[in-house]
Chain A
Amino acid sequence: MTINQSGWKPEMSAGGTDAPAPTFTGNRALMLEEPLIFEIGSTRTTGVDFAEGDVHHDRLGDLTRKAPIGLPGLSEPETVRHYTRLSRQNYAIDLGLFPLGSCTMKHNPRLNERMARLPGFADVHPLQPVDTVQGALSVINQLAFWLIDLTGMHGVAMSPKAGAHGELCGMLAIKAALEKRGEGHRRVVLVPESAHGTNPATAAFAGFAVEDIPATADGRVDTQALEARLGPDVAAVMITNPNTCGLFERDLKRISDAVHAAGGYVYCDGANFNAIVGRVRPGDLGIDAMHINLHKTFSTPHGGGGPGSGPVVLSEALSPFGPLPFTERHGDGYITLVEEETAGDRHPDSFGRMTAFHGQMGMFTRALTYILSHGADGLRQVAEDAVLNANYVLRSLEGTLDAPFAGAGPCMHEALFSDADLAEGFSTLDIAKGLIDEGFHPMTVYFPLVVHGAMLVEPTETESKAALDQFIGALRSVAERAKAGDKALKTAPHFAPRARLDETRAARKPVLVWREPASTPASSEAVA
């Protein structure tokens, strides 16, 4: 808490030094502290004006809400200031390079935002008669065809809400296909150690049993171990390509063929599709299902944790089992929606619905805008520049940080380092926090699990060479300090809005909602 108490006396800098004294407000120039709305708002305040008129006519029966709810309001100027001040405590792509491996933090074009806000997209209800939403259905349909063509697959399910929801979609399609074949007893899903945590979680969520597949010394799936485990109980393999070590799975086609020969299906985690878009079609590698994070490859904004969007491309074998609803374009250009009503005729093997309505329309609009802006040639350039930037980072830093797989060849869109060369007592976490002081968001840390103290750097294609050079210089400097045992690094960050936060305390006695402090009756007026 930084609201000052009455009776505060200014301190003088001691002994004639130049060291600054604490300020009255707790602020430090542009670094502004901001209380919670519950501490500054009042339940009687509203920043919204309404039409006049009585509202006494009551058909609520005896269900009227009488007890205080405790929702503070702020005037509009205070609201704008509150959230603007909060925003300034965030790092963001708009501020600088955001090299979170596997997360693909690339520039978010503002044209995409403008297009998503056209009233014809933003102010349309999902249950309007289809005659009145032909433009919206066209967006879905056009995006669907781009995704199919870019991946070389047979069909696409547009409704999944995010990557993990897309994984679920693919795994349910696999389950439905197996049951149709009378092989619902296949319960095992093989997942490489290096997989995203969502993969095993999704498989379990869909009712499968998960088994790990080890990695080889060069950071790829152990093909022999995988092939040895295939059999009549294996439903599917979930594999990430390019994988989470930033490497292309060279054996993927061979793996796909082996899995198919053993009666299983191949799910590909497409989180890293941005590395190969326009250069490789996953369909050519024999996969059966892959989700595409529109918020990664196609640059819909991450928004501080979503919304995402996770369409799933499907092979010919799995397409009949994909979810409802989907769009169907007829010869005259008219688009219909296949929902529960027509599914019996048009899509009888569908596993059903995954979400209300039609998916993340606002993300489709943005992604289609992004795709049209780049075109087939530009998307290919996207992959090339993403891979070029990552390799430039890898080769620029491999003399400073241990890069476990760099000797075997180039990486794809992300460069992986380990904590092998750091001084005793120094860790990946210290490097991450040191980078914060340098004005960068840290890379992904401690993932993938197959590398000790992993640091996964994904610069993306929207970084200039100058930005990369500055980042490389900063990471090299921080790494050298960690190797030399600079103790100041252990308490970094020093210049961020907060020092290291006590996560253990947060988890031991969770405080998940604000509660009135018992000892400060003065502030209780605020939410009386």
Chain B
Amino acid sequence: MLRYLPLTGHDREAMLATIGVHSIDDLFADVPEAARLDGPIAGLPNHMTELAVERHMTALARRNTVAGEVPFFLGCGAYRHHVPASVDHLIQRGEFLTAYTPYQPEIAQGTLQMLFEFQTQVARMLGTDVANASMYDGSTACWEAVGMARRITRRTKAILSSGLHPHYASVAKTMAKYTGDVLDTAVPDLSSDMDLDRLIAAIDDDTSCVVVQYPDILGRIGDLQPLADACHARKALLIAVVTEPVAMGALKSPGEMDADIVVGEGQSLGVGLQFGGPYVGLFGCKEKYVRQMPGRLCGETVDADGKRGFVLTLSTREQHIRREKATSNICTNSGLCALAFSIHMTLLGEAGLRRLAGLNHAGAVHAAERLGKVPGVRLVTDRFFNEFTLDLGQEARPAVRTLAERGVLAGVSLGRLYPGEDALANGLVVAVTETTTKEDVEALATALQEVLA
């Protein structure tokens, strides 16, 4: 029995008769003889019961170290936060989970209103005028922002901060090879400050945009206003990248510092770690650039009876209308993750977001000061939100592996992110959230001291 297929043998016979053919093979008559498979593909197993599949998958799941079961300090673009139980319950309501992109707005107001609320929440968090209905993730949103800046400025030079997540920079490098954009890139150094001065010095009349991450890959923060001013003096755009949206409950938003486009990774709220995906890209910008935005946009309107309602709008930017002239090829985005983000944000509210951010920061400050006292360890970053960088005085990567064997997931070694960059090899990026306990920090400090000795 195949539990997801409702047709019976009798149904199939009756339907073939209605169609007027003798067998199912007649319906595949257009397939060339040489390409027809006579039976199930050899070497692959046949169907399994629900119980058997559950056993198979559970056995695979057990072979992973679960973040919540050990002292855990990884960040660098994906953060472990507590997600209230109601979030996962609500996103599993079939009316959200099993709906499609809201092409028929009369019977999709639930998704559309949620998207309108999401867009407003994201815009307010990032400090932008508007935001779209989500992108795949932060890294692809970042590249889309570079493309958008190219279209707006009609220039092709993009200056990437050395503090931009190296995977985000990699995505941009991949795409730039084929689009003709010229990237000015650098790797970070183990210092306490962002590379704002380098960025300002690099801006010229060919520059379409500067891309700066805030807080950056090492956890550092800085005032983006002078950078925004320098960009605008040369008619270039400032793109800010936020990989930890919880920071927006404590830190001045990039929009408040006059960034033109702010993109982000929304995974921290509602979504969970999930080994890297699916996540949810955030994309906000100044209102004057809205027609160059990629992705879906939900807008308010009224119905024929004058009642307020919501629709997907400005779709003349999009691939299904504009085809090769579209602002992006994106179609399916990250709707359900956007819903999870939005529900979590609604549960928090501004007061909750600020409190959550405060707890993250306080925990990180405590951990930074404690870990900075481990012999041989130096705290590199002195201003940060919930993530900071340590110089271990020796290569961090083997230390991380040894710590993992001892049951402590210590953080992300810069050697993993920047292989071959010897100057960074001793760096360890440590993230602390509200899920990190003081005992976790002690466990890391103790184990680190032993491993480094």
A273 within 8 A of B: no
Which one of B198-206, B330-338, B441-449 contacts A?
A: B330-338
Determine whether the beta carbon of A352 is less than 8 Å from that of B274: no
Q: Is A433 part of the binding interface, using a Cβ–Cβ cutoff of 8 Å?
A: yes
Chain A interface bracket (under 10, 10 to 19, 20 to 34, 35 or more): 35 or more
Does B18 contact A279, Cβ atoms closer than 8 Å?
no
In the complex, what residues of B have CB within 8 A of residue A65's CB?
A: 248-253, 256, 354
In the bound complex, residues from chain A placing their C-beta under 8 Å from that of B333 are 162, 305-307
Q: Which of A103, A127, A324 has the most CB of B within 10 A?
A: A127
Q: Given the interface contacts A87-B110, A285-B35, does A365 sit within 8 Å of B121 by beta carbon?
A: no
- A103 contact set on B, CB distance < 8 A: 100
Q: Which of B45, B120, B401 has the most CB of A within 10 A?
A: B120
Instruction: Annotate A343-371 by CB proximity to B: 1 below 8 A, 0 otherwise.
Output: 00000000111111111111101001100
Interface residue from A117, A299, A305, A309 paired with B335 (Cβ < 8 Å): A305
B7 engages A464 (CB within 8 Å): yes
Q: Residue among A45, A373, A503 with the most chain B CB within 10 A?
A: A373
Assess whether A46 is in contact with B322, with CB atoms less than 8 Å apart.
no
CA distance A108 to B96 in the complex (A): 12
Contact B6 A45 (CB under 8 A): no
Q: A120-B66, A388-B12 are in contact. Are A162 and B178 (CB under 8 A)?
A: no
Q: How far, in whole Å, are A205 and B385 apart by their CA atoms in the complex?
A: 36
Contact B304 A491 (CB under 8 A): yes
Contacts of B304 in A (CB 8 A): 491, 499-502
B106 part of interface (Cβ distance < 8 Å):
yes
Contact of B56 among A129, A372, A396 (CB under 8 A): A372
Shortest CB-to-CB span from A36 to chain B, Å, is 6
Question: A138 on the interface (CB 8 Å rule)?
Answer: yes
B97 touches A253 (CB 8 A): no
Hey, which chain A residues are within 8 Å of B423, CB to CB?
A: none
Is the pair B274, A355 in contact by a Cβ cutoff of 8 Å? Answer: no
Say yes or no: A164 contacts B332, CB within 8 Å: yes
Chain A residue nearest to B76 in the complex (CB): A127
Do A410 and B278 have beta carbons less than 8 Å apart?
no
Partner of A505, one of B173, B265, B301, B332: B301
CB-nearest residue of chain B relative to A184? B178
Q: Which residues of chain B from 32 to 70 have a CB within 8 Å of any chain A CB?
A: 32, 34-37, 39-41, 43-48, 50, 53-54, 56-69
For the complex, what is the distance from the CA of A511 to the CA of B40, rounded to whole Å?
Answer: 53
Complex Cα–Cα for A524 and B364 (A): 36
Point out the residues of chain B lying under 8 angstroms from A503, CB to CB. Answer: 105, 301, 311, 313
Q: Are A355 and B139 within 8 A (Cβ)?
A: yes
Known: A120-B62, A247-B30, A513-B123. A305 touches B347 (CB 8 A): no
Distance between A153 CB and nearest chain B CB, rounded to angstroms:
13
Contact yes or no, A395 B299, CB < 8 A: no
B 280-324 contacts with A by CB, 8 A: 280, 290, 296-305, 307-311, 313-316, 318-324
On whether A94 and B50 interact (CB within 8 A), knowing A46-B347, A165-B136, A388-B16, the answer reads no
Check A109 for interface membership: any CB of B closer than 8 A.
yes
Q: Is the CB of A284 within 8 A of B401?
A: no
Q: With A501-B301, A512-B119 known to touch, is A281 a contact of B350 (CB < 8 Å)?
A: no
Contact assessment for A108 and B248 in the assembled complex, using a CB-CB cutoff below 8 Å: no
Number of chain B interface residues as a range: 35 or more
Residues of B within 8 A of A497 (CB): 106-107, 109
In the complex the two chains form, is A64's CB within 8 Å of B347's CB?
no
Given A63-B221, A388-B27, A129 and B329 contact (CB-CB distance below 8 Å): no
- Which chain B residues (321-358) contact chain A, with CB distance < 8 Å? 321-326, 328-337, 339, 343, 345-356, 358
Complex Cα distance, B105 from A500, in Å, reads: 8
Min CB distance, B86 to chain A, in Å? 5
Instruction: Give 27 pairs: A residue, B residue, CB < 8 Å, sorted on A.
Output: A48-B84, A59-B365, A63-B383, A71-B350, A72-B346, A73-B351, A88-B110, A93-B99, A98-B100, A109-B4, A126-B78, A127-B74, A127-B417, A165-B136, A165-B140, A167-B329, A204-B326, A247-B30, A285-B35, A304-B339, A307-B336, A357-B167, A361-B278, A410-B21, A499-B304, A506-B301, A510-B290
Which are the 6 A-B pairs with shortest beta-carbon distances?
A73-B349, A120-B61, A357-B276, A303-B336, A94-B94, A126-B276
Q: A119-B61, A382-B5 are in contact. List 13 more A-B contacts (CB 8 A).
A: A48-B348, A64-B252, A76-B347, A86-B111, A88-B95, A118-B58, A124-B64, A198-B320, A362-B274, A387-B28, A410-B21, A493-B107, A506-B311
